[in-house]
Amino acid sequence: MSDIFVLIEHRQGKIRDISFELLNCGRKLAEKTNSNLTALLLGYNTENFVEKIKSQAHRILVINSEVFKDFNSESYQIALSEILKKETPFITLIGHTACGMDLCPALATQMEFPFTTDCLDVDVVENKVKVTRQMYDGKLNAKLIIRENPSYLFTLRAGNFPSEESSLKTEIINIKSSVTEPDYRKFVEYIEAVAGDVDITKSDIVIGIGRGIKEQENLSMIEEFADNIGGVVACSRPIVDADWLPKDRQVGSSGKTIKPKLYIAIGISGAFQHITGMKGAETIIAINKDPNAPIFNEADYGIVDDLFKVVPVLKEKVMELK
Ligand SMILES: Cc1cc2nc3c(=O)[nH]c(=O)nc-3n(C[C@H](O)[C@H](O)[C@H](O)COP(=O)(O)OP(=O)(O)OC[C@H]3O[C@@H](n4cnc5c(N)ncnc54)[C@H](O)[C@@H]3O)c2cc1C
């Protein structure tokens, strides 16, 4: 069987976390299929990147060119299609990120690869390629067998393959690329989102509040509770859409990814877009009046009750303990 390939994603001079998750998934697939894992690295001044991922793959194919300093799906597609035609990997994994979503549909169409997006898992069982992806807003996981083809392309959702140490002997292969500045798209500027007063990615304790809070004025109860236990308040997307909290407090696929020691989800149903952002928390407590809310599938501890009854009691207990 030919190799497993993963695309290394980087931004502003840093390798993005998803790349290490892809490498982890790729290593598992390579082991299972008795093949090698190749990391594709397109960038500029790539030495630092190579240093960070060395030992995580059997090979790193590097294109070091100013054209790849910043992500541009047009130039990436040209370069990757050239490599994929030449190398014909068995499975190529790319992050289900803004970059992956921008790049992969056109790349898969050009290559005529079977392509499945937003996979939670990719596996090879008895020579059949199987992927797991969610359906019906995360209510069920579908396991799909992909039609047979020499090569496949998948995007992988973040948060399912934690980065792991690895000590592979890595061959580094530099490739010359003829790709020049693309015709249609140009990278203009990277604009960092304005930082708010609270950075929810830095706190050990995060209280996530969702639509169950009902009214904006009820947020003060949650803020008091968060102060009480030394945490910060984050939220699901509807709370941001309602303008009750700023965008930088949103947890999830279109918000922030957080990995606190403790995440308390209050009045949050647990849509997959939210789960993606918080499933890396060490301990998850969910408070929800609906016993079937999907958030309980992720929670280590769950309280099925009205949040307006539970939060004051918790606050009181914390005060007592203090
Ligand atoms: C492209 C896209 C990107 C998205 N990105 C994100 C994202 O980054 N982050 C995100 O969060 N969402 C995101 N969403 C939205 C997501 O699909 C859900 O709609 C959203 O997460 C639901 O928020 P919620 O859980 O607060 O609300 P709901 O789904 O309405 O859930 C409210 C919950 O509160 C419970 N509840 C109600 N009253 C009480 C009470 N008194 N006591 C206890 N429990 C109570 C209910 O049982 C329910 O489970 C995205 C959607 C799309 C399409």
Is any ligand 1 atom within 6 A of the Cβ of residue 208? no
β-strand pairing of 4-7 with 91-95:
parallel
Choose one of 264, 274, 314 to mutate for the ligand 1 pocket test, by most ligand atoms within 8 angstroms of C-beta.
274
Tokens of 300: 């280590």
Residue pair 152/42 in contact (Cβ under 8 Å)? The answer is: no
The enclosing H or E element of 288 equals strand 283-288
Fold: same for 4-174 and 205-321: yes
* Pocket flag, ligand 1, residue 253 (CB < 6 Å): yes
Q: Whose CA is nearest to atom 23 of ligand 1?
A: 236
Protein residue with least CA distance to atom 8, ligand 1? 252
Here the tokens at position 94 are 């790319």
Q: What is the pTM of this model?
A: 0.78
Domain boundaries, the chain: 4-174, 205-321
CATH (one of 1.20.1250.20, 3.30.70.980, 3.40.50.1820, 3.40.50.1220) for 205-321: 3.40.50.1220
Q: Strand 121-125 to strand 128-135: parallel, antiparallel, or no bridges (unpaired)? A: antiparallel
pLDDT digit string (tens) for the chain, length 322 residues: 589 999 999 999 999 999 999 999 999 999 999 999 999 999 999 999 999 999 999 999 999 999 999 999 999 999 999 999 999 999 999 999 999 999 999 999 999 999 999 999 999 999 899 999 988 877 788 999 999 999 999 999 987 888 888 999 999 999 999 899 888 889 999 988 777 788 999 999 999 999 999 999 999 999 999 999 999 999 999 999 999 999 999 999 889 989 999 999 999 999 989 998 999 899 999 999 999 999 999 999 999 999 999 999 999 998 888 7
Q: How far is CA 70 from CA 44, 64, 148, in A?
A: 8, 12, 34
Q: How many angstroms separate the CA atoms of 85 and 1, rounded? A: 16
Residue nearest to atom 38 of ligand 1 (CA): 212
Answer whether 241 contacts ligand 1 (Cβ < 6 A). Answer: no
Q: In this structure, what token pair is assigned to residue 261? A: 């020691």
264 neighbors 303 (Cβ within 8 angstroms): no
- Chain centroid to Cα 253, Å, comes to 7
CATH number of the 4-174 domain: 3.40.50.620
Distance CA 1, CA 7 (A): 19
Distance between CA 79 and CA 102 in Å, rounded? 15
Ligand 1 contacts CB of residue 307 (under 6 A): yes
